Amino acid sequence: MATVSPPSQWQKYASMFVLTFQSCALTLVMRYSRTITEGGIYFPSTAVLLQEAFKLVIALVLLGVEETRAGVFSVSRMFGLLFDKDCWKMLLPAGLFVLQNNLHFLALTHMRLHTHTSVC
């Protein structure tokens, strides 16, 4: 098994910048999409479901790329990695994260943007 080297200093700062930018942009886009009236308002649960499905697709693609580079790509191996016995321990945190995202949409619907940004 290959050893994983720790991230370098620029990788730490780059990921912190990207996550901060993503969080701010997500809040602004979510608020804008909840306040426009053209075409009606959508269900927040649908947006959260699509967001989680999108992240799953990205994770599967990245896993496939990593397995292909290692030269051991197979669908059964990917299935085994995804549904490992330790993977099921993530169900509760994932469920809580989905609940948090739904509450995030609810807060954005009923709070002013700058209040929401400073609270969250």
Position 114 pLDDT exceeds 80: no
CA distance 83 to 104: 29
Q: Which residues, at least 6 apart from 98, have a Cβ–Cβ distance to it below 8 Å?
A: 48, 52
Q: What is the mean pLDDT of the chain?
A: 77
* pLDDT tens, residue by residue, 14-62: 888 888 887 778 777 877 877 776 766 777 788 888 888 888 888 888 8
Assign 4 a pLDDT band (cuts: 50, 70, 90): low
CA distance 86 to 90: 8
User: Which amino acid, one-letter code, is at 71?
Assistant: G
Residue 49 corresponds to which tokens in the numbers above? 């479901």
Please classify residue 108 by burial: count the beta carbons closer than 10 Å to its beta carbon, then call 0-12 exposed, 13-18 middle and 19+ buried.
buried
Q: Specify the pLDDT at position 1.
A: 47
Kindly report whether the global pTM for this prediction surpasses the value 0.85.
Answer: no
